[in-house]
Amino acid sequence: MGLFGIILFLAVLDTLSPSVLGGTAYILLTKSEKKDQRLLLFLVITQGAYFVLGVIFMFGIEPVIDLFRQLKESSFVSVIFLIIGLTLIYLSFSLPKWTKNKNGNAYACIFQKIGGAISFKVIVIIALSAFLIEVTQAIPYWAMLGLITYHKLSLPIWLPTIAVYNIIMVLPSLVVLILYKNNPKKTEIKLVKFKNRLIRSNATLWAIGGAGGIFLNIGLQGIIPH
């Protein structure tokens, strides 16, 4: 019980994910119809990606490591990683300058662009982007996988554990959705306040820069001879 208590605590920590909460605010503040369907699609994609990642990890990361080793041996792939890394680092410094105006920073511009109706295709892009940005910083999630591995839990136990963990991660978003359905105007006021906090935050820019550094390092290791 102590192990699952720790895992529950880690799941509660993961409910504070800025990407998932931010995506929830984005979708509910748009002018789109069927916001509930779009939000549920967003949550299914993000948590589905986390679940698949956890399953891959638990079944053994050796195939994944071997794949990366093969990719690192390709100079072409290394150059691609290098370009991606440099681009992300450049964007992390340039986005505030490009979007700086009287209305706010980069986040204000993002909210303005997605303020209208958004298609399911855009939802998929937002969901995958949120996952890719957040997964590098999901320390509680990786800790949970580490605990399961360390205690050598069997498949019938760790599989539902990961599934329940992912559900707990999005409980705040589901609560917000229920509140929105019951009282849209009051909930929108609170979401706008949360949106304004995100606008004043530069956490995502740090995440973009950090991801760029990782890609840059992988690219350099593949190009520079050892």
| Tens-place pLDDT, residues 40-94 | 999 999 999 999 989 988 887 556 556 656 665 677 777 887 888 788 777 767 7
CB 47 within 8 A of CB 187: no
pLDDT (tens digit per residue) in 176-221 = 999 998 988 888 888 887 766 665 555 556 556 666 776 677 677 7
Flag whether pLDDT at 164 surpasses 90. Answer: yes
pLDDT of residue 117 exceeding 50, the answer is yes
pLDDT bucket at 153, cuts 50 / 70 / 90: confident
Q: For tokens 């320390």, name the residue.
A: 139
Position 102 scores a pLDDT of: 45
Measured CA to CA, the distance from residue 6 to residue 12 in angstroms comes to 10
In this predicted structure, the answer to whether residue 168 has a pLDDT above a threshold of 90 is yes
CB 127 within 8 Å of CB 42: yes
Which value, in Å, is the radius of gyration of the alpha carbons in the chain? Answer: 19
- The per-residue pLDDT for 44 is 94
List helix spans (H) across 59-183: 62-72, 75-98, 106-113, 120-135, 139-150, 155-169, 171-182
